[in-house]
Every structure is written in C-alpha cells, then in structure tokens.
Amino acid sequence: MVRLGAPPRTATRFHSADQTVVVQVRWSASAHSDGSFQLIALDGRVTPPRPLAADGGWNAEGATGSSWGSAYEVLAQRYEWLAGMAESNYTDPNGIHTFPTPAVRAPAASAGTVTAWFRQWGDGPIPFTDTERDIVVALFYVDGGGEVRWAKRVFG
C-alpha cells in the first residue's frame, strides 16, 4: 500500500487479516467535478460476485472513508455482474445483518487516483490465487446529491 502512495502505518486496521487486496484506480478526462467516485472490489469466484469489505483508502487529498449506498441495489438490477449485491442478501445463520461496507470513496474530479484496500469477510478467507480471474473491480459515480448514477467494471 505504501508503494502505491499510502503513508506508512496507514492501513493497520486489519493487519491480522489473512489476505488483503490492494487496488489502485486512475482516471482522467472525467466530466464530473462534484460528488464522488466509489471503488469496490468483489470476489469474482462466486456468482454473483460478492463484495469485499473496504478497510480504507488514500487519494491526493489524504485518507478517504468507506461507505454503502442503498442505490447499489438499484444498480444491481441494471448491471448483470452486480446482480445479488443487495444489503438484504447478506445475513449470518442467526439472521443478523453482516453486510460489510464495500466502497472506498474519492472526490470526483477531472483526473485522480485512489488506492484502496479490502479484505474478505463472512465465511472465512479462502486465498485468492489468480487476480485476473478472482477479483472484480468496479468504479461507481455518486453525484453531489448522493445519488449513485452509474457503475463501470474496470477490472476482472
């Protein structure tokens, strides 16, 4: 994470996790100057791909937070590769809600970079062995009013 721009000791929250997935996305020539871009990573070994838990992120403005948007459920109806990504689909055997916060956000700008780190959750970690096959990365745009407008699959 440090090699991708995060300062040392920034990502320590889940240092005991068996595996962390680090993703960096760069964009340019964006028409968006308000709102935010949100980055998610999904476990592509299952159908539908299951979101990984967002640990944290870093961009040009410093540390960035994680979030969940209820509109992801609407996007899951529009984009086949997000089908089933609904908060209500993730509960433990006792019926307790266990959906993680899946997105790391960065301010929308004409150009930018965000580095984010994610971990597995729920059923226990099964190591990723082939990132090209195992991981799906998507970028969402959330407008200034908080509405999720689109999703773009950028990897996997």
The tens digit of pLDDT for each residue in 37-61 reads: 889 898 888 777 778 888 888 887 7
One-letter-per-residue 3-state SS of 118-154: EECCCCCCCCCCCHHHHEEEEEEEECCCCCEEEEEEE
The tens digit of pLDDT for each residue in 110-126 reads: 998 888 888 876 655 57
Residue 135 has what pLDDT? 92
Of 139 and 91, the one with more pLDDT: 139
Residue 72 has what pLDDT? 66
pTM, two decimal places: 0.79
Q: Which residues contact 55 (CB under 8 A, 6 or more apart)?
A: 11, 13, 14, 17, 20, 66, 116, 117, 118, 119
